[in-house]
Amino acid sequence: GGKKTAAAGASPIKVGIVNLPPEESGYRQANVEDMNKTFAAANGYEARQTNTADNSEQIAAAAGYIRDGVDYLLISAANASGWDNVLKSAKDAGVKVFLFDRLIETDASNYQAALVSDMYAEGSIAMDWLLKQGLGAYNVILIRGQLGSAAEKGRSDAVLKARDAGKIKLVADGTGGDSWSLEEARKVVEAAITAGKDFNVIFAENDGMAQGAVQALDAAGITHGKGGKVKVIGFDFNRFALRNVQAGYWDLDVQCSPRQAAQIAGWIQDLKAGKPIPSGIVYQTEIGIDTASITNDIVLNKGINADPGEGVITR
């Protein structure tokens, strides 16, 4: 990431940001905050942000920004398609487009660069870690997120591949629904427990659902975490999740960084300075953290959302 300080007196860089609404998820809240903070007036930007989960509203907003004459357009698309026209008019108007967090299915020449998380890689990080645990049998409960979402596809993929390869057994395959719901996740695990299923891994596709699953385990008196019967895996690097890992209450959390703003701002500064910047898809590098590798530094610097403090676990 580049540190940017605007030359005093220079006219601000106009940026239009089309994003999903912060109400969408904790990830998005962090992402939106990050955008707002980075592209603040103090840093020499005049940024406007439209937050909506509706594709047509997003496209309308992008078109509006182009008409308003922004210099850069940053897009996190709700829907991977339908953007061709608007991207072309951006090109015609000399507006540079950066995609972040979500890809758009279009010709790569239609945008400058896309900075995204690799959901497939995230799934693989978790699966690779799991298969190294030497559990003997892997009886997994998979709790998916919103079906069809990029995160669900990528993260499920690793599990399904491992199953097809006969490395693990999928004992239950549920979903937290469109809201990645803690409650729904809890129900999935409860159903497995009351049906007398034997399982030793919970692969929950985000932290909230992992928490719901853990609640179900606790209520049923099933041990988990370090030294426990069930391995618990979550995603997103919420600080509370990291603290749970730190306390040995959960086993693994995989990062999915919402902080793309600094990187993109760096590119913008580079462009201004005439330096070359990458084009096409750029994946963020992400990590998985287990009870052994966790440090306070990671929790504080890489985690997102509220920090309950060291040693505090969420029941």
Task: Restricting to residues 100-119, name those near other proteins by CB under 8 A.
Answer: 105
Sole binder of other proteins in the list 11, 40, 41, 68 (CB under 8 A) = 68
Sole binder of other proteins in the list 11, 37, 69, 198 (CB under 8 A) = 69
3-class state of residue 120 by DSSP? helix
Sole binder of other proteins in the list 37, 40, 41, 67 (CB under 8 A) = 67
Decide whether 41 or 135 has the Cβ nearer to other proteins: 41
Contacts of 45 (CB under 8 A, 6+ apart): 6, 12, 13, 14, 15, 39, 265
Decide whether 262 or 312 has the Cβ nearer to other proteins: 312
Give the total of residues touching other proteins (CB under 8 A).
92
Could you say whether residue 219 binds other proteins (CB under 8 A)?
yes
Strand order in the sheet with 280-283: 45-51, 13-19, 72-75, 96-100, 113-116, 280-283
d(CA 72, CA 66): 9
Decide whether 129 or 237 has the Cβ nearer to other proteins: 237
* Whether 62 contacts 86, CB under 8 Å: yes
Decide whether 201 or 241 has the Cβ nearer to other proteins: 241
Phi, psi of 94 (to 5 degrees): 70, 25
Residue 122 has which token pair? 């995230």
Decide whether 212 or 288 has the Cβ nearer to other proteins: 212
Footprint on residues 149-168 left by other proteins (CB under 8 A)? 149, 153
**DSSP track, 144-213:** E-STTSHHHHHHHHHHHHHHHTTSSEEEEEEE-TTTT-HHHHHHHHHHHHHTT----EEEESSHHHHHHH
Footprint on residues 127-146 left by other proteins (CB under 8 A)? 144, 146
Residues found in the chain? 315
Decide whether 133 or 271 has the Cβ nearer to other proteins: 271
Could you say whether residue 272 binds other proteins (CB under 8 A)?
no
d(CA 57, CA 55): 5
Decide whether 178 or 198 has the Cβ nearer to other proteins: 178
User: What is the pattern of x (binds other proteins, CB under 8 A) and - over residues 221-250?
Assistant: x----------------x-x----------
Contacts of 28 (CB under 8 A, 6+ apart): 19, 20, 21, 22, 258
Decide whether 99 or 129 has the Cβ nearer to other proteins: 99
Footprint on residues 162-201 left by other proteins (CB under 8 A)? 172-175, 177-183, 186-188, 190-191, 194-196
Q: Minimum distance from CB of 132 to other proteins (Å)?
A: 27
Footprint on residues 47-66 left by other proteins (CB under 8 A)? 48-57, 59-61, 63-66
Binding window for other proteins (CB under 8 A); candidates: 32-40, 112-120, 126-134, 224-232: 32-40
Neighbours of 197 (CB within 10 A): 13
Decide whether 128 or 179 has the Cβ nearer to other proteins: 179
Sole binder of other proteins in the list 13, 87, 95, 202 (CB under 8 A) = 95
d(CA 48, CA 101): 18
* Whether 158 contacts 190, CB under 8 Å: no
Could you say whether residue 215 binds other proteins (CB under 8 A)?
yes
Could you say whether residue 12 binds other proteins (CB under 8 A)?
no
